[in-house]
Amino acid sequence: MAMIAYKCPQYKVTVVDINPARIERWNSDDLPIYEPGLDEIVKATRGKNLFFNTDIEKALKEAEIIFVSVNTPTKTFGAGAGMAADLQYWEKTALQIRQYAGSHKIIVEKSTLPVKTALAMERILTSNENGIHFDVVSNPEFLAEGTAVKDLEDPDRVLIGSRQTPSGLKARQELVEIYANWVPRERIITSNIWSSELSKLVANAFLAQRISSINSISALCECTDADITEVARAVGLDSRVGDKFLNASIGFGGSCFKKDILNLVYLCRHYGLEQVADYWEGVVKINDFQKVRFVLNMLGAMFNTLAERRICLFGFAFKANTGDTRESPAIFIAERLLEEKAELVITDPEALNNAKIDLDGMNGKISYVEDPSKAAEGCDAIAVMTEWEIYRGLNYEEIYKSMCKPAFIFDGRNILDHNRLFEIGFNVFPLGKPHLTHF
């Protein structure tokens, strides 16, 4: 919404939320999320044509176009628990729109939703007594965290799906005209509403599948002395495959991939497509396997006992350039290490507050230290969880001196100079590559 306000001064954009504390932070100098470049855009537009408040009723009455971006977590209860999307917030919003709208509105699905949710929305909205017509269009968001502003400013594509009725097509065109203020028209694509909804789930499933594919091969590389970086390079140079998104890791995290794949799996099962469901569920299973494998590798390397050994986690965010820790593989790894009775020192430039919340109530010794070099002091091992750039440039000679010996590094992101670390004295365990040990 901030980007629309920034690029289109002719529109008035109002963001409403039921959470007053969050709205207050959007109105302050301390925005509730860390996203490079976002502060500048919000500062440039806030109070001019971008407004944040909690008056949902008024905003719904006044707006001509309503973007619905409420959360749709995985259902934790009843039918489809652990798989299907929990649509209660979505439904509540539909009811509010029906109650307060007062006139025709275009409703834009921004949240990622199961296929045919727009139909449910339409049914709720049209079951009103006052005969108001609503057009529901689907406009999924493809931005990634950490690069959100860049992705919004220069998107690969904008997708807008609608009903093929005259009023559906007209609503779709209105949205096209908003994006055309800054996105080249050939990158604004349109489709029917169900294709649009499904494309979002499938796009995330394909991206996550690439990571699980490369991670599964990283396990094989470790058994065969092949090198995952070399394999990924050789495979990715085939232009049909492409070289992006092939970095082996401790597993993908984030609020979307797992949730969206499970949603896709649930849909397939719903339609009786067991084989298709199993195929996509494999992407999540490999991701879980990769996290388990990482901890077991640590345990094996450190002579099968981690009790009372100090382990420093470099990074806790699910990826670099964000403070977000939702579904971060670091959470699972921290919990497993604590079960082994290891002591944890956690460092991250943006995610320490979230890490504290995530690990609150866990049994065991955990400390949180902002400076990575200080965090590693007195530790037996460093495990890289997040690919923050700062971890590449640290003074590892000094860090080595300050650690217990033998000192270990487990590079869960393959971002460090492994040969150099080995020369310094570390025992180095990269992912999907031969390890470098002094034993």
Residues recognised as catalytic: 256
Residues 144-183 touching ligand UGA, rule: CB under 6 A, are 144-145
Rank residues 283 and 382 by Cβ distance to ligand UGA and give the closer one. 283
Binder to ligand UGA among 114, 155, 253, 412 (CB under 6 A)?
253
> Based on CB atoms, which residue is closest to ligand UGA, 120 or 202?
202
- Nearer residue to ligand UGA within complex by CB, 134 or 318: 318
Asked whether position 319 contacts ligand UGA by CB under 6 A, the answer is yes
d(CA 173, CA 177): 6
Task: Give the CA count within 13 Å in the CB-facing half-sphere of 126.
Answer: 10
**155 or 168, CB closer to ligand UGA?**
155
**Using the rule CB under 6 A, which residue among 111, 247, 321, 325 binds ligand UGA?**
247
Q: How many binding residues for ligand UGA (CB under 6 A)?
A: 20
Residue 408's nearest CA partner among 293, 315, 298 is 298
Among positions 360-399, residues that touch ligand UGA (CB under 6 A) are: none
Q: ∠64-35-322 over CA atoms, to 5°? A: 130
**Which residues inside 256-295 make contact with ligand UGA, applying CB under 6 A?**
256-257
Tell me if 214 sits within 8 A of 232, measured CB to CB: yes
From 178, 211, 312, 366, residue interacting with ligand UGA (rule: CB under 6 A) = 211
Least Å from the CB of residue 283 to ligand UGA:
12
Query: Among 235-243, 252-260, 293-301, 368-376, which window interacts with ligand UGA (CB under 6 A)?
Result: 252-260
Q: At what angle do helices 117-126 and 88-100 cross, to 10 degrees?
A: 30
Minimum separation from the CB atom of position 222 to ligand UGA (A): 16
In the bound state with ligand UGA, the residue whose beta carbon lies nearer, of 15 and 207, is 207
Least Å distance between CB 246 and ligand UGA?
A: 6
Which two three-digit tokens encode residue 308? Answer: 């009372």
In angstroms, what is the minimal distance from the CB of 144 to ligand UGA?
A: 4
* Region 128-147 residues binding ligand UGA, contact defined as CB under 6 A: 141-145
- Is residue 241 close enough to count as binding ligand UGA by CB under 6 A? no
Residues 97-116, interacting with ligand UGA (CB under 6 A): 112
Residue 89 vs 142, nearer CB to ligand UGA: 142
Q: 179, 158 in Cβ contact below 8 A?
A: yes
**How many Cβ atoms are within 10 Å of 12's Cβ, its own excluded?**
14
Tokens of 378: 């007195």
Taking CA atoms, 426 is separated from 266, 410, 436, in Å, by: 45, 10, 8
Indicate whether 245 belongs to the interface with ligand UGA (CB under 6 A).
yes
Sites of contact with ligand UGA (CB under 6 A): 112, 141-145, 204, 207, 211, 245-247, 249, 252-254, 256-257, 318-319
